[in-house]
Amino acid sequence: MQNNAEAKPNVLRVTDATMQFGGVVALNNLNLEVNKNEIIGLIGPNGAGKTTAFNVITGVYPPTNGAIYLNEHMIISNHPQGKMKTLYAGENNGKHNEVKVLTPDRITKQGVARTFQNIRLFKELTVYENVLIAQHVKLKANVLEATLKLNYKEERVMHLETLRLLEILGLIDVKDYVSTSLPYGKQRHLEIARALATNPQLLLLDEPAAGMNPQESDELMHFVGRIRNDFDLSILMIEHHMQVIMGICDRIYVLDYGSLIADGTPAEIQKNPKVIKAYLGVEE
């Protein structure tokens, strides 16, 4: 399966990404690849640096060291600077000499969308508005055109697209509800809808099944597979529900204390002694 996957072009490639907060190494030399149309799992115990990895990929934090490529096109690159120069003790010192740090909005424009671990919807706006706003990234009209409604054709397309997305995600019945009044599971769906509205090639899901019961997370699992096919996406997801991860992921990366300890297919990961040790500890 892995050989098969390698033939596909990769969408995301993270090389030697290190994130240090002062002396704390949250992410240590992470190397990761997501190929086209793959669903990749990123797992690890609490505090392993999974969400930090997401934040580095989406440009929330500029990495201390390392580079990130989207479709083989560099979007982020940094090397230790200032105080970090003395603190950084990685083996890739000097390997990355270019500095390029895009802000999150520009990375989204390049085709990376994400959801958040602790749901971050536009709280007081309706479900419909939440999805509509996310399409602002595609807008071509300037302020004057938009104000004078000269881009009404573009607007109409945006409205139709919003309805289509809500239909697909099963939120069409609740489209006029205030987003926070939805039940938890629906809010997660809405976050995904909002992310899809930005026309991504790569979708980062941060614990999409958190707080869901087994039946709900089972539904979510099928749902993630479906959107991958429908929207021609590559997906990188953090998840704690092993049932979900093992069920849909093509490959899995395991993080512990900021370092990658294993990667491979679900079957390989389940047998890997290092992973078992990280999750369960060793027998004394």
The answer to whether 169 and 134 have CB atoms below 8 angstroms apart is: no
By CB under 8 A, is residue 181 in contact with other proteins?
no
Q: Which of 56, 113, 196, 233 binds other proteins (CB under 8 A)?
A: 113
Site for other proteins in 245-264 (CB under 8 A): none
| Min dist. Cβ of residue 149 to other proteins (A) | 7
Stretch that binds other proteins, among 21-29, 113-121, 208-216, 259-267 (CB under 8 A): 113-121
By CB under 8 A, is residue 64 in contact with other proteins?
no
By CB under 8 A, is residue 28 in contact with other proteins?
no
32: its two tokens: 């990761």
Stretch that binds other proteins, among 30-38, 144-152, 237-245, 248-256 (CB under 8 A): 144-152
| Min dist. Cβ of residue 163 to other proteins (A) | 16
- Provide the angle, in degrees to the nearest 10, between the axes of the packed helices 214-231 and 184-196: 10
By CB under 8 A, is residue 155 in contact with other proteins?
yes
The site that binds other proteins (CB under 8 A) totals a number of residues, namely 37
By CB under 8 A, is residue 210 in contact with other proteins?
no
Stretch that binds other proteins, among 67-75, 79-87, 130-138, 276-284 (CB under 8 A): 130-138
Applying CB under 8 A, the residues found at the interface with other proteins are: 58, 60, 103-106, 108-109, 113-114, 116, 120-125, 129, 132-137, 139, 141, 143, 146-149, 151, 155, 158, 194, 197-198
